[in-house]
Structure 1
């Protein structure tokens, strides 16, 4: 496993909910990342973010790690969930709420 894959793996496995995004939770740098943050904020569960704009190795490496071409990317309990469109679908169906462990 390459150094960048090890770094990504540690982030994914070391946090229950982690979002690889463009920008930060306070200042998302694209609409998709902003939507993903809004969804996570709605649930009120702790989460970590990784700003891929600050690290080009992570930006490219996360696409290879997940075999998913776009950012943002959400991981819950070490498993890849998807991007903002999938997050929105799962939010609307109620599936994401239980996945992230949000209170009823």
Structure 2
């Protein structure tokens, strides 16, 4: 098995939009993950959800990967955007929609 950093790096770089979250898009396991999924669905953006609860290694690995202490974490075209609060602010200001457009994710 590849090390977790390499696996995360691959997910982030091979998917346009990735949400590392607790639970799945159909069944989020925390309010912040649920809110993040709703934001992306409202924008109509296809995304890959990665359930960090599947493994402790992944749950810790994603925090180390970005040096960001919480989940969910959103990546767009290989770039870390932020967590739930940042997503909410960017969504409300229209900035998230603009970012998706600029990155060619519509």
Interval containing the TM-score (normalised by the shorter chain): over 0.9
**Which ranges in structure 1 are unaligned for 5 or more consecutive residues?**
none
Provide the C-alpha distance between the structure 1 equivalents of 2:55 and 2:16, rounded to a whole number of angstroms: 22
Asked if 1:40 is matched to 2:40, the reply is: yes
**Which ranges in structure 2 are unaligned for 5 or more consecutive residues?**
none
Provide the C-alpha distance between the structure 2 equivalents of 1:67 and 1:25, rounded to a whole number of angstroms: 24
Asked if 1:63 is matched to 2:63, the reply is: yes
Say how many residue pairs are matched: 102
Provide the C-alpha distance between the structure 1 equivalents of 2:100 and 2:18, rounded to a whole number of angstroms: 10
* TM-score of the two chains, using structure 1 as the length reference: 0.94
Provide the C-alpha distance between the structure 1 equivalents of 2:26 and 2:100, rounded to a whole number of angstroms: 20
Provide the C-alpha distance between the structure 1 equivalents of 2:19 and 2:55, rounded to a whole number of angstroms: 14
Moved over 3 A (4+): none
- Deviations along 1:16-73, one digit per CA (max 9) or x if unpaired, are 1000000000000000000000000001111001000012111100000000000000
Report what 1:31 is aligned to: 31
* TM-score of the two chains, using structure 2 as the length reference: 0.92
